[in-house]
């Protein structure tokens, strides 16, 4: 699921797919994602809006 988060998939969808009961669990499990991962996801989502 790390790759899906890196590609900008919404964390709530990741939680539902893998069966986590909360976003807190997703945050703890995938906390290794970096600031650059977040920046890249933001840039991809902005590019898609064009």
Read off the pLDDT of residues 17-40 as tens digits, 9 standing for 90 and up. Answer: 989 888 888 888 877 777 888 788
Angstrom distance (rounded) from CA 40 to CA 17: 23
- Residue 50: predicted pLDDT: 66
- Residue 48: predicted pLDDT: 80
DSSP string of the chain, one letter each residue: -HHHHHTT--HHHHHHHHT-SSHHHHHHHTTT--HHHHHHHHHHHHHHT-
Computed over every residue of the chain, the mean pLDDT equals 83
Residue 15 has pLDDT above 80, yes or no: yes
Contact in structure between 41 and 6 (CB atoms under 8 Å): yes
Q: Under 8 Å CB-to-CB from 23, ≥6 apart: which residues? A: 11, 12, 15
- Residue 8: predicted pLDDT: 81
- Higher-confidence residue of 32 and 2: namely 2
- Residue 9: predicted pLDDT: 86
């Amino acid at each position: 699921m790390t790759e899906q988060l890196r590609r900008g998939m919404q964390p709530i969808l990741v939680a539902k797919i893998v069966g986590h009961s909360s976003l807190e669990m997703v945050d703890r499990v995938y906390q290794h994602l970096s600031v650059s991962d977040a920046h890249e996801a933001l840039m991809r989502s902005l590019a898609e809006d064009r």
